[in-house]
Amino acid sequence: MVFTVPDPILQQAGVSPSEILLKLAILLFQEERISLGQASKLADIHLVEFQRELVRRNIPIHYGREDYLSDIQIVKNLK
């Protein structure tokens, strides 16, 4: 899926496309709609870097059984 944000909106908000993806990934992760692994993939950054970003923003990392199983599936699909 392609998601387009018009340049004037990005400029007015003072954010880059990568920042938009990061903010969306963090929001969906906080709402427990996606796993930690899915969020880092959406943000297009390494899992460890995504975790550092969460720590920097004082966002707790909730990582339960469902997250674990989801991440295992993602890894299997990468092969």
Query: What are the domain boundaries of the chain?
Result: 7-78
Rounded to the nearest angstrom, the gap between the alpha carbon of residue 48 and the centroid of all alpha carbons in its chain is: 12
Task: Report whether 29 contacts 36 (CB < 8 A).
Answer: yes
pTM above 0.85, yes or no: no
What is the tens place of the pLDDT at every residue in 26-78?
A: 999 999 899 888 999 999 999 999 999 999 999 988 777 877 888 888 888 88
The SS3 call for residue 67 is: helix
What is the sign, positive or negative, of the torsion defined by CA atoms of 28, 24, 26, 39?
Answer: positive
**How many other C-beta atoms can be found within 10 angstroms of the C-beta atom of residue 39?**
25
Please provide residue 59's backbone torsions phi and psi, each rounded to the nearest 5 degrees: -105, 120
